Amino acid sequence: MQVNLRIRRFNPEKDSKAYWGEFNLNDVDPTDTVLDVLNRVKWEIDGTLSLRRSCAHGVCGSDALRINGSNALACKTLVKRLGSGDSVKIQVEPILGLPVIKDLIVDMEPFMAHYREVLPYFINDSEPPENGRERLQSQEDRMRFDDTTKCILCACCTSSCPSFWANGQYVGPAAIVQAHRFIFDSRDEGAEERLAVVGDAFGVWRCRTNFNCTSACPRDIEVTEAIAQVKKVLTTGEI
């Protein structure tokens, strides 16, 4: 099949503003991914095209892009999903809400700064069990945060959130998902510190529940549901 590819290009050393680069590719396999197509452009047509990618199997989360207007991982998006017939149009842009460094690469630091704010690590200062084994919890307790353990920090959710676009001070869905993962862990003792961060004026209250984050998540995490659960803890004081 033929692919007409539009890529948002920007080279800070040459360009005063971003522009669309167009590439036509023939003999694209329908089961090729958008990452395969971008690699073909970079390796065969224009070596200056800049993009992040690593594992190419939807695990590392480094190739989050805005593809045909929706956030997704380029390595998990098949060309055949973007159109039918012999010719498909694909438009690829960097994810929104974060400063563009070059072409499809954005500065992830503002995103990571919010991630660090919610203390995304296990906090428990009490003595470990005397038998030297792990801190046990019931299967039901483990299931409460199972969904939010799947986050790969690709930023698809946060960069699809209109509240984050409007104000980058909002911690964003990904940071709240990370906070949820530890707040709902019965073995963790840092819930109050995290709730102080996500209960702030730039925390969960900025969420307008428009579900962009849930639609964008390549790991199918129920992001809006997780945010709602954190809001409930903040309103009831009970986990």
| Site for another protein, rule CB under 8 A | 137-141, 144, 163, 166-167, 169, 186, 189, 191-192, 195-196, 199-201, 203, 205-206, 208, 231, 233-235, 237-239
CB of 167 to another protein, least distance (A): 5
Measured from the CB atom, is 82 or 197 closer to another protein?
197
Burial call 194-230: b when 16+ CB within 10 Å, e when fewer: bbebbbeebbbebbeeeebbbebbbbebbbbebbebb
Minimum CB separation of residue 221 from another protein in Å reads 20
Shortest gap between Cβ of 197 and another protein (angstroms)? 10
To another protein, the closest distance from the beta carbon of 102 in angstroms equals 26
74, 90 in Cβ contact below 8 A? no
Closer residue to another protein (CB): 131 or 138: 138
- Nearer residue to another protein within complex by CB, 61 or 203: 203
Nearer to another protein, 78 or 228 (CB): 228
Encoded amino acid at 205, one letter: W
Q: Which is nearer to another protein, 51 or 191 (CB)?
A: 191
Least distance from another protein to the Cβ atom of residue 83, Å: 34
CA-closest candidate to residue 227, choices 167, 184, 165, 188: 184
- Min CB(53)–another protein separation in Å: 33
Q: What is the rounded CA–CA span in Å between residue 128 and residue 135?
A: 7
> Look-up: residue for tokens 């992040």?
52
Cα–Cα distance between 13 and 24 in angstroms, integer?
26
Residue 197: name the closest of 216, 178, 210 by CA: 178
Q: Among candidates 111, 78, 102, 73, which has minimal Cα distance to 219?
A: 73
Nearer to another protein, 206 or 219 (CB): 206
The phi, psi pair for 38, rounded to 5°, reads: -65, -40
Structure-token pair, residue 171: 């911690």
What tokens appear for 80 in the block? 């055949």
Name the minimum Å distance from CB 184 to another protein: 10
For tokens 């224009």, what's the residue? 46
Q: Which is nearer to another protein, 66 or 231 (CB)?
A: 231
DSSP single-letter state for residue 14: T
**How many beta carbons lie within 10 A of that of residue 136, not counting itself?**
10
